[in-house]
């Protein structure tokens, strides 16, 4: 699991503060029941926690820490190499990690994405006003049933403290963004005067204001900034609940080869958005052989891993950046629920999906993490949902 940031992070820097692994806060019966999805935004939550820039460190398990970035051996001087070519003993050139393929965004991304990725302003169309139709750049998720939490019959990496017990969830239909919110999309809200710019939380990984990264996911935004962006887009727009996010990532009972009434749906639920194949750079933008971002040392343009799409065709539900969701980071209960929204009064707010520096275990659709609402991290972004009136 990706470690979560506890309150001590405020002492240094929420951008890169060490994260301490803890279990979610136990919930009472009101925490996971259907609730009001329009919690008031705090007036001071736009201010991010301050502190020193430092790499993220897993405080509990050295195997979860990001690997050291290899430093290539110094290549021979060009003049020396030229002289050596006339002799039998040619110096060996050290192996260098394979660089990712260079691709043209408009050519490689789906037409729908390329055409709509920078058009997310407040909606005024009849479709948006009367609740019919799915807005451009979004995917319709029909009403359905799924089992939320880790499916231990298929997944040997369950975190029982945060992903159990598995429980039945019934959801109303909703629309979800096809991709993670891009820098270009978020910039529209900043230009409109509603959103504040992301902070530059890491000079290496921050995407805001970097030429050529307009179609990369926006990062370094707080939970409040993320929610303000979604609300700016129009009535019914918000961050997804954890339940909405997870069903969009792994599919309903029907899409997992079962039925809404089948008790065996619990064991039918897939582990990853694409199925059961082990997470790799074939499916997600994640930690590569030795470097983050599949050896690219960066996020990638949204929608760059179509083989990893969810059963609904939603992009990047695993990898690239973690995504803020609406709920507080509460523990689960075994009872069946309908349209649950975890109260936002928890000390931490949830995020899902894994990021470009995450290992395979963090690509699992049941995986969870939590952060302070004021945290703005280089591996944390967002996407929005639209619920029907």
Model pLDDT, residue 294? 96
Residue of higher predicted confidence among 31 and 280: 280
- Encoding tokens for residue 235? 């009535």
**Which of the two residues, 357 and 58, has the higher pLDDT score?**
357
**118 touches 219 (CB < 8 A):** no
CA–CA separation, 67 and 69 (whole Å): 6
CB of 54 within 8 A of CB of 15? no
pTM above 0.85, yes or no: no
- In sign, the C-alpha dihedral spanning 381, 5, 327, 322 is positive
Instruction: Tell me yes or no: is domain 99-125+135-389 CATH 3.90.1580.10.
Output: yes
Query: In the predicted model, is pLDDT for residue 96 greater than 60?
Result: no
DSSP string, 336-370: -EES----TTSSSEEEES--TT--GGGG-TT--EE
Parallel/antiparallel/unpaired status of strands 380-381 and 322-328: parallel
- Residue 14 has a pLDDT of 41
- The burial class, CB within 10 Å (0-12 / 13-18 / 19+), for 45 is middle
* pLDDT greater than 80 at residue 365: yes
Question: How far apart (Å, rounded) are the C-alpha atoms in residues 20 and 11?
Answer: 14
d(C-alpha 220, C-alpha 356), whole Å: 14
pLDDT digits (tens, 9 = 90+) for 106-146: 333 333 333 344 467 665 333 443 455 899 999 999 999 99
Per the CB < 8 A criterion, the answer to whether 198 and 381 are in contact is no
Predicted confidence (pLDDT) at residue 301 exceeds the cutoff of 90:
yes
Confidence label for 229 from pLDDT (cuts 50, 70 and 90): very high
pLDDT of residue 182: 98
- Measured distance CA(170)–CA(244) in Å, rounded: 10
Report pLDDT for 202.
Answer: 80
Distance CA 244, CA 365 (A): 12
* Residue 100 scores a pLDDT above 60: no
Q: Which residue has the higher pLDDT, 30 or 389?
A: 389
At 138, phi and psi to the nearest 5? -125, 165
pLDDT at 270 over 80: yes
Tokens 């990725």 map to which residue? 117
Stretch among 35-49, 163-177, 295-309, 346-360 having the lowest mean pLDDT: 35-49
SS3 content of the chain, % helix, strand, coil (to 5): 20, 15, 65
Is a pLDDT exceeding 90 seen at residue 254? Answer: yes
Q: What is the pLDDT of residue 28?
A: 56
Judged by average pLDDT, the poorest of 43-57, 194-208, 227-241 is: 43-57
Query: Which band of pLDDT confidence, cut at 50, 70 and 90, is reported for residue 16?
Result: very low
20-46 mean pLDDT: 47
């Amino acid at each position: 699991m990706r470690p979560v940031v506890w309150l001590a992070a405020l002492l240094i820097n929420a951008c890169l503060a060490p994260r301490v692994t803890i279990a979610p806060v136990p919930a009472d019966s009101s925490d996971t029941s259907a609730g009001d999805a329009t919690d008031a935004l705090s007036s001071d939550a736009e201010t991010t926690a301050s502190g020193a820039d430092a790499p993220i460190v897993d405080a509990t398990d050295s195997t979860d820490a990001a690997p050291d970035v290899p430093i290539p051996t110094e290549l021979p001087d060009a003049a020396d190499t030229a002289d050596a070519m006339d002799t039998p003993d040619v110096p060996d050139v050290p192996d260098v990690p394979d660089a990712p393929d260079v691709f043209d965004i408009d050519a490689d991304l789906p037409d729908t994405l390329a055409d709509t990725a920078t058009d997310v302003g407040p909606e005024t169309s009849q479709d948006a006003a009367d609740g019919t139709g799915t807005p451009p750049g979004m995917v319709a998720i029909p009403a359905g049933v799924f089992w939320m939490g880790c499916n231990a019959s298929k997944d040997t990496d369950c975190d029982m403290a945060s992903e159990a017990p598995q429980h039945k969830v019934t959801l109303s239909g909703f629309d979800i963004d096809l991709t993670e919110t891009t820098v270009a999309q978020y910039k529209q809200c900043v230009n409109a005067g509603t959103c504040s710019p992301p902070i530059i939380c890491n000079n290496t990984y921050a995407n805001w204001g970097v030429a050529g990264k307009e179609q990369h996911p926006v990062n370094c935004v707080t939970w409040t900034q993320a929610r303000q962006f979604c609300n700016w887009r129009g009535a019914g727009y918000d961050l997804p609940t954890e339940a909405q996010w997870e069903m969009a990532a792994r599919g309903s009972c029907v899409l997992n080869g079962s039925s809404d009434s089948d008790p065996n749906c619990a064991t039918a639920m897939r582990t990853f958005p694409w199925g059961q194949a082990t997470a790799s750079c074939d499916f997600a933008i994640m930690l590569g052989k030795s470097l983050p971002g599949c050896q690219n040392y960066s996020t990638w343009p949204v929608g760059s891993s179509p083989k990893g799409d969810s059963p609904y065709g939603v992009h990047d539900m695993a990898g690239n950046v973690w995504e803020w969701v609406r709920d507080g980071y509460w523990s689960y209960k075994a009872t069946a629920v309908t349209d649950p929204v975890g109260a936002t009064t928890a000390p931490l707010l949830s995020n899902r999906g894994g990021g470009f520096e995450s290992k395979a275990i963090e690509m699992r659709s049941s995986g969870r993490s939590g952060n302070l609402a004021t945290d703005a991290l280089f591996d944390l972004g967002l996407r929005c949902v639209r619920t029907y009136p």
